[in-house]
Each structure stands twice: as structure tokens, then as C-alpha cells.
Amino acid sequence: MEEKRYSRHLAFFGVEGQKAIQNAKVAIIGCGGLGSHLAQQLAYLGVRRFILVDADHVEESNLNRLIGAISEDVEKNRFKSDIISRLIKMISSESSVITLSHSVIHESAIQLLQDSDILFGCVDNDSVRLFLTHYTSILGTPYIDLSSEILDGGEEFGGRVMFSLNGESCLMCMGELDQNEIRRGFSTDTEKNIDDRMYGVSQELLDGSGPSVVSINGAVASLAVTEFMVWRTGIRVPKKLLKYYGRKAEIRQSRDTPLKDCYYCKGIYKLKDVGQLRNYYH
């Protein structure tokens, strides 16, 4: 315990709280605008063990919001997960960081992530969110899902943080997953093209290349890290679902109740066996 380094934390949640943070093994799925903010704050908070998963390389259009990224990362075609690993080690060189530069729906990720104390989903696709909900439900692993968005040309913007804990609720039974987006996520390219012609779906938005701003991502990531902090330190019970409405400049706690008999957080919660999971998602 580096008491001087964390003296301002100890005054808030004490040595035991700091140890609880430091002992957490954290997995971050998605190392983009949200994931980079999240990793930075967790590292400053005192988390020392990370698993980072992201298949993407840094592109020039990421440099408006990818915390820690520089132009050279684009030129060298570096993976986003390596940028975030570098960021964490700049903050705390003794951190243990494992990076996986491929999809989370991959046998090695499914095996490796079983060890985590908590998963953070920082992805931009509801089909991957469904997989992460399924996966963490089977294992009984706490799951915090982050989402930020700018809709209708900026008419609405903000995001939300969903904390699935103890099988009480999840993205599915709180109605936070878009079934059309999930279906699209598991469609072939031909099926997607047919969809686009029939429904005029915006390719730009569905491919995750819509508008995105560093401060909105930062606001959502800060909410998520604060819920993680209150959970690990026991300051209070974390909130299930927080919503940030940027237009109104409000953060509200959802009062919705989860649907009963959810397959994920009720039916398969703590089944433990993830052996067949890969077969559902391909």
C-alpha cells in the first residue's frame, strides 16, 4: 500500500477500501473513447490488474477522443489495446496488463476472462453487449456496461451506465438492448445489404462511425468508475441503471423494474459452464 500516493483516498474510504480496489482484477472490453477514459481513471484509482480486449487499430479519426493516443500510433498501425496498456503503465508502471487484440467472442478471451472480478463493456454494438450479458450471467461475474451516444444530429446526447450485480437485473430485462441491432450484428454482409435497402438503415451509425465527443464519453466513464468505487469500498450499494441526459444536463437513476424470469440473470445465473457459449455466437 503506497499510503502517501493514496492519502487523499484513504481520507475517504480508508485502507481497506483502497485494498479492495487494488485487489480487483478488471477486464475492459473495448479500448476506444469510453474504454480509454475508464482505464485511465481506474489506474489512478489504484486498480493494478487489467485485461484489455479490442481487435481494432488506432485510426486518425480516433485522435479526437482516444485518451493516450498520439499521431505516431496511427502511423505505426498500433492496436488500441496497446495504447491503453501504455497509458496504464505510465500511470502505474507496476501494473499487470494482459492485452488481447481480437474479438471478445473468441475462445482465448472466453477462457481468460473467467478469472476477472468484474467486466466493463465499452463497446458500440448491442450484439457484443448481448454476448457479454450472456457470459457474465453464466459466471455470475459483475458486469458494468457503458454507452454514450449522440442522436438525431445532436438533438439528444448523453449515455448510460448499467451495473448488473447478483443476478438482480441485466441489459436484457431492463430493455436496454435493441433487438434489430442484435439481429444485424449476427447477420451476414448480404443480409445487412438487403436490410439497408428495405429499411434505409444508416450504415454510418450502425458501423459505429457516428458522432462521438471526448467529454460525453468522459462523463459516462466517470459515472461507471464511481459506481465501481462505491461497490468495492462499500460506500453504498451501486445503482442498477444511471442515465445521463446531456440536453437537459441531468443524471437520473432509472426507476424501471426488470422483467421477471429473465433468461440471463435468472435462468442461467451462476451456471458456471461457458463451454458451449462460443457456439451461440459466431
Considering beta carbons, is residue 58 or 241 the nearer one to Zn ion?
A: 241
Q: Which residues make Cβ contacts (< 8 Å) with residue 140, sequence separation at least 6? A: 167, 269, 270, 272
Task: Report, in Å, the least distance between residue 182 CB and Zn ion.
Answer: 15
Distance, in Å, from the CA atom of 195 to the CA atom of 211, rounded to the nearest integer, reads: 22
Site string for Zn ion, 151-170 (x = CB under 5 A): -------------------x
The size of the interface with Zn ion (CB under 5 A), counted in residues, is 6
As a whole number of Å, the CA-based R_g of the chain is 19
Distance, in Å, from the CA atom of 72 to the CA atom of 146, rounded to the nearest integer, reads: 28
Q: Does 264 bind Zn ion (CB under 5 A)?
A: yes
Segment holding 119, helix H or strand E: strand 118-121
- 75 grid coordinates: 502511423
**164 DSSP β-pair partners:** 143
Q: Does 173 bind Zn ion (CB under 5 A)?
A: yes
Q: Does 130 bind Zn ion (CB under 5 A)?
A: no
Distance, in Å, from the CA atom of 96 to the CA atom of 102, rounded to the nearest integer, reads: 19
Which one of 265, 268, 269, 281 is in contact with Zn ion (CB under 5 A)?
A: 265
Considering beta carbons, is residue 173 or 220 the nearer one to Zn ion?
A: 173
Task: Report, in Å, the least distance between residue 203 CB and Zn ion.
Answer: 31
Task: Report, in Å, the least distance between residue 264 CB and Zn ion.
Answer: 5
| Residues in touch with Zn ion (CB under 5 A) | 170, 172-173, 262, 264-265
